[in-house]
Amino acid sequence: MEAQKKTLGEFIIENQYEFKNSSGELSRIFNSMKLAAKVVSYKVKKAGLIDIIGGVGDKNIQGEDQQKLDVYANEVFIETLINREIVCGIVSEENDDFITVQGNDKANNNKYVLLMDPLDGSSNIDVNVSVGTIFSVYARISKRGTPVTLEDFLQPGTRQVAAGYIIYGTSTMLVYTTGHGVNGFTLNPAIGTFYLSHPKIKFPVDGSIYSVNEGNYVHFSQGVKNYIKYCQMQEGNRPYTSRYIGSLVSDIHRNMLKGGVYLYPTSTKTTNGKLRLLYECNPMAFIIEQAGGKASNGHSRILEIKPTSLHERVPFYAGSVNMVEKVEEFIAMANKETMC
């Protein structure tokens, strides 16, 4: 890493001007996420060495086994945010209800709420495959100085003030947007500093990678099945390459750098898809759009969906614009045929 490269801390300060009347609150949130990311990254990299692998025997609200690292990451992010009193409320995939940040009056005076999946793709931890953290920030709707309400969290994704992900891969990276493009920072673990390594990331308009759990093929709708067959057909730049890690952050990150489409459709098994709107799809969709890509539920923009509950799921088709539009075409075509 070249010494002259900009650090994440410097970048955050330099870009505060993007927000009118900036109070520095958002910058402080980023600094906290950066700190917690380093702590979690350290632990993830040591996962094979210490007794932290495996379930804790609990299930989260979706009935899934919690891994020890899920629980650890959840605690680290929540404690970092609470100790620094920089948000007024938190939603996490691992907690049934939202957390009101209490303690003193000052805390409830904070402007922002944060929603997160502290360790996404955690079924991959035991096998040494990349996992990630996803987060989303909104300005509260309720009055400052009062406790947060459910409505503060149930805002459409278009209202996000910032969103980001951390990928714990061969290197640890933090990628984020505040609505002014997308920038990626790589952690130099030797000195614990994130450096700007991927400035102004652009999602290729087209690509040749499709990412979907094809084991669920028989359960998919006819439109999705037809699209998958289209990806595999020999014509033009097809067949496309199939790449699926099963770790949303990693699959999207790869496709954003190389060009591709990610699909988690509805199926007869999962009628609303699997991914959660508030802390998986919305933040990823904000980043994807800011990089020039597209994110859809099959017919409409993810960011315009009005959420109705904290842990709701939506089908998710995201990536290179031309590829997502093609999926939508196939879905619409099959729906029309069914109606005829």
Give the interface with Mg ion as residue ranges (CB under 5 A): 117, 120
Nearest to 116 by CA among 164, 183, 154: 164
Residues 62-101 that bind ligand AHM (CB under 6 A): 64, 93
Which is it for the CA torsion 109, 112, 115, 118, positive or negative? negative
Q: Which stretch binds ligand AHM (CB under 6 A): 117-125, 164-172, 224-232, 299-307?
A: 117-125
Identify residue 270 by its one-letter amino acid code: T
The string of DSSP codes covering 36-101 is: HHHHHHHHHHTTTTTTT-SEEEEE-TTSPEEEHHHHHHHHHHHHHHHHHT--SEEEETT-SS-EE-
Q: Measured from the CB atom, is 152 or 280 closer to Mg ion? A: 280
DSSP category for residue 192 = T
Binding at 122: pick from Mg ion, ligand AHM, none (beta carbon under 5-8 Å per type):
ligand AHM
Least Å from the CB of residue 277 to ligand AHM: 13
Compare residues 120 and 251 and give the one whose CB is closer to Mg ion. 120
Q: Which does 140 bind (CB under 5 to 8 A by kind): ligand AHM, Mg ion, none?
A: none
Length in residues, the chain: 340
- The distance of closest approach from Cβ of residue 51 to ligand AHM in the complex, given in angstroms and rounded to an integer, is 21
Minimum CB–partner distance for residue 251 and ligand AHM (Å): 6
Q: Shortest Cβ distance from residue 319 to Mg ion (Å)?
A: 18
Minimal distance in Å, beta carbon 121 to Mg ion?
7
| Tokens found for residue 285 | 């969709």
Q: Calculate the alpha carbon distances from 232 to 217, 239, 242, 246 in Å.
A: 13, 4, 9, 20
Q: Note the residues at the interface with ligand AHM (CB under 6 A).
A: 64, 93, 117, 120-122, 213, 246-248, 251, 274
